């Protein structure tokens, strides 16, 4: 990401942090994300959730959610670099 893109992403995160209502968060996401971007985020959510649950193999996750193994690998690698406390929080919430 470029410096401007990093600045923009941080700004978006800060904006999102100020929104309390799920209805308003949805409206904000509708404003900022295209249908394709929302589909990508939804797939990533399902992948991360399934990986945290650790109930089914990665190939089955790929088949179940119609995503590529590389998407599963990226999700798995992302989970390896987050803090243990965030990983636990996600596992508890999801």
Q: What is the CATH number of the domain that holds 59?
A: 1.10.1270.10
φ, ψ of residue 20 to 5 degrees: the values are -100, -30
Query: Could you say which residues of the chain have pLDDT below 50?
Result: none
Instruction: Please indicate, yes or no, whether residues 89 and 65 belong to a single structural domain of this protein.
Output: yes
What's the structural domain count of the chain?
2
Check whether residue 85 and residue 45 sit in a common domain.
yes
What range defines the domain where residue 61 resides?
Answer: 35-94
Q: Domain check: are 20 and 44 in the same one?
A: no
Residue whose structure tokens are 């959610």: 65
Q: What is the pLDDT of residue 7?
A: 97
Strand, helix or coil for residue 90: helix
- 38-55 per-position pLDDT tens digit: 999 999 999 999 999 999
Are both 27 and 50 inside the same structural domain?
Answer: no
3-state secondary structure 4-64: HHHHHHHHHHHHHHCCCCHHHHHHHHHHHCCHHHHHHHHHHHHHHHHHHHCCCCHHHHHHH
Residues 13 and 39 in one domain: no
């Amino acid at each position: 990401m470029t410096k401007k893109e990093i600045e923009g992403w941080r700004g978006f995160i800060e904006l999102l942090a100020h929104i309390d209502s799920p209805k308003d968060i949805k409206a904000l996401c509708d404003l900022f994300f295209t249908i394709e971007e929302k589909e990508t985020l939804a797939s990533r959510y399902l992948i991360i959730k399934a990986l945290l649950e650790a109930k089914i193999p990665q190939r089955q996750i790929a088949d179940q959610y119609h995503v590529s193994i590389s998407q599963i690998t990226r999700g798995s690698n992302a989970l390896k670099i987050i803090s243990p406390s965030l990983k636990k929080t996600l596992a508890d919430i999801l």
